[in-house]
A = this chain, B = another copy of it.
Amino acid sequence: MGNTDVGYMAGTGVEMSRRVPIPPARSFFDTFCSNLKETFFPDDPFRQFKKEKGGRRAIRALQYFFPILEWAPSYTFSFFRADLIAGITIASLAIPQGISYAKLANLPPILGLYSSFVPPLVYAMLGSSKDLAVGTVAVPSLLIGSMLGKEVSAAKEPVLYLQLAFTATFFAGVLQASLGLLRLGFIVDFLSHATIVGFMGGAATVVCLQQLKGIMGLEHFTTSTDLISVLRSIFSQVHQWKWESVVLGCGFLSFLLATRILSKRRAKFFWLSAAAPLTSVVLGSLLVYLSHAESHGVQVIGHLKKGLNPLSLTGLIFSPPHMILALKTGMITGIIALAEGIAVGRSFAMFKNYHIDGNKEMIAFGAMNIAGSLTSCYLTTGPFSRSAVNYNAGCKTAMSNVVMAVAVMITLLLLTPLFHYTPLVVLSSIILSAMLGLIDYEAAFHLLKVDKVDFCVCIGAFIGVVFGSVEIGLVVAVLASILRVLLFIARPRTTILGNIPNSMAYRRIDQYPGAQSISGVLVLGIDAPIYFANSNYLRERIFRWIEEEEERLRVNEKTSLHYVILDMGAVTSIDTSGISMMKETKKALEKRDLQLLLANPGTEVMKKLNNSKVLEIIGHDWIFLTVADAVGACTFMLHTAKAENLIRENGPNDGNIV
């Protein structure tokens, strides 16, 4: 039966228009260019000014690189009013948060203010998000503190530590800008949602644990970030706990959490949670100033230098061994900051239905960090909390960042002495309340419900961060995510397809209970591209299906299998190992007297089958547009063969009569 002449096909009435064509040969250069374009310029960013000419084109190009030129000309007073309110709101959040996060990175508190001045101005010129508010973030701050702290002590070598922080920021900026320029933004996509949930939850837990130092009013603390070291450090110093500090901390924390909950319940109270940190700082400072608590063990920020950012260009370190440390820190924190910033930008763009170019955003982030590293700022990005406040406060354009920068500038020039009595415990409460919001147990529960593998990735990242270190957690999560993709490729599903009654459609028998199989014909769907990683598996799995089907037919229907149809609809890509596998499968089927038919192969499969001459071995006549066509040909031939057998049994002489 397998040797049935292909000549039969002429009789099946398959029209030429329904044959699967071999795609026309394209030059290697064409294919290469179009693949390159699809990989690196999937959004075709230059489309918009391709049609323009001369001067207009130059203006459009300038507008492309400096989005401010796009929105500034049509900026109105009503926009400005909205941005002014939003800008002042985020500034009131930025000042206490900035100081807090700088402490988290073991950097002088004033750096938090510096970092809310220069980078927002740069972003306002280059960034394409209308809602993103620039500032420092907790997790990268903690990472800078822990990674640099392993080799250089912030307490013993403050100048070197500071220089390393600037250098790390510089490298982070260079990395971000180059990823954007090289259009490698998709690297950030390899941090999956599940990874980020687990990683952020873990990192927030770690940050919270670190805050216990401030809340308890401890002076000595472990430099490790893992749960066990921190708990050991805290409980070994029970006699050092300061009750004044604990009471103050818990009080402010309750206040902050209460405002958060309130503003979550009602959107119009958003300003409550936005204003609460600054209120806490003011109240805390007043309390300390009036009660002289600083002499009763409550630590305060102390003297903050007046004046704008000093230049830090000459402080950058470009010689080993310290450069390596800064480079490593910059790479890791840069990627994490980028992932957060891009995700935040994208989410708000989706809300307001405008488009953000990820690669362009990376260039903006990179530029603002490079500029920041030269002007005494450390790593900034677009934090979710601050951007959400910005959005809720009704910002219209990136001008709200400019307003925030101006507000911070005024603070730097005039108001820094006011922070002298701000107790550190208030800063710890501010961080704690922000971090508790990052532990997204609802998202983890959602993952558990929808996708168990994603949940494992998430928990892996969380455990890695909490019990190991932030770096370990990140590596675990990224590896797990990639492993998952590779496993998917290595073990694609193959399924038996059956005909859905009253239709030409063939679908999985296990998914559609009504689907009917055809006796003597096995229809197999292959659910993935055929690659080196799965070609051996697929070949063996196909033969196992065939053996099972032959067994079933022998036992149940006393017939045998004649045709094997592979539905290639989902085989969207194939490599040379896959092509060899097709060839070997064809040959092995021939040895078993089975005929192989292909249904619905895509462009790439047809092209490669043709180039490798495997098409000749399989036979172009055995390739069909749809599974239904292939099944039609099989049943036609089965009937013909039955008729022939009948003729043969009745003797050749009767042939003419039939």
Binding site for B on A (CB under 8 A): 15, 17-18, 21, 23, 28, 31-32, 38-39, 42-44, 186, 189-195, 346, 350, 353, 355, 358, 446-447, 449-454, 481-482, 484-493, 500-505, 507-508, 510-514, 527-529, 531-537, 540-541, 543-544, 569-570, 572-573, 575-577, 579-580, 584, 587-588, 591-592, 600, 602-603, 606, 608, 611-612, 625-626
Contacts and interface: CB of A to CB of B under 8 A. Distances in A.
A591 B192 contact: no
A531 B608 CA distance: 26
A502 B628 CA distance: 14
Contacts of A531: 192, 485, 488
A210 to B, nearest CB: 29
A536 B44 CA distance: 15
Nearest to A487: B39
A491 to B, nearest CB: 5
B603 A502 contact: no
A527 B38 CA distance: 14
A192 to B, nearest CB: 3
A449 to B, nearest CB: 5
Contact of A532 (B18, B31, B193): B193
Contacts of A608: 450-451
A543 B482 CA distance: 27
A43 B491 CA distance: 12
A602 B194 CA distance: 22
Given A504-B504, A626-B505, A533 B190 contact: yes
A532 B38 contact: no
Contacts of A505: 600, 625-626
14 contacts: A31-B452, A42-B544, A186-B491, A189-B534, A190-B486, A190-B533, A192-B532, A194-B576, A450-B579, A450-B612, A481-B532, A481-B533, A503-B625, A569-B569
Nearest to A192: B532
Contact of A576 (B43, B450, B528, B572): B450
Contacts of A491: 38-39, 42, 186
B32 A353 contact: no
Contacts of A606: 511
A338 to B, nearest CB: 13
A505 B529 CA distance: 21
A575 B487 CA distance: 14
Secondary structure dominating the interface of A? helix
A588 B355 CA distance: 11
A505 B42 CA distance: 28
A44 B192 CA distance: 33
Nearest to A38: B491
B603 A511 contact: yes
Contacts of A529: 488, 528
A350 B190 contact: no
Contact of A572 (B492, B584, B587): B492
Contacts of A482: 486
Nearest to A489: B485
A508 B492 CA distance: 23
Contacts of A43: 540-541, 544
Contact of A488 (B192, B355, B573, B580): B573
A597 to B, nearest CB: 16
Given A446-B612, A489-B485, A625-B503, A510 B451 contact: no
Contacts of A507: 600, 625
Nearest to A604: B493
A557 to B, nearest CB: 20
B193 A580 contact: yes
B536 A358 contact: yes
B21 A511 contact: yes
Contacts of A527: 572-573, 602
Nearest to A579: B450
* The 5 A-B residue pairs with the shortest CB-CB distance in the complex, in nearest-first order: A192-B532, A527-B572, A570-B570, A193-B577, A511-B603
A18 B502 contact: yes
A606 B493 CA distance: 16
B584 A194 contact: no
A446 B587 CA distance: 20
Contacts of A540: 42-43, 355
A340 B281 CA distance: 69
B575 A451 contact: yes
B537 A194 contact: no
A84 B28 CA distance: 53
Given A192-B533, A193-B580, A528-B572, 16 more contacts: A17-B501, A186-B491, A189-B536, A190-B533, A450-B576, A450-B611, A451-B575, A451-B608, A454-B575, A485-B533, A503-B626, A505-B600, A505-B625, A528-B529, A569-B570, A570-B572
A532 B446 contact: no
A449 B575 contact: no
A453 B575 CA distance: 9
A21 to B, nearest CB: 7
B544 A449 contact: no
Residue with the greatest number of chain B CB neighbours at <10 A, chosen from A488, A492, A531, A575: A575
Given A43-B544, A511-B21, A532-B193, A502 B15 contact: yes
A23 B485 CA distance: 23
B189 A490 contact: yes
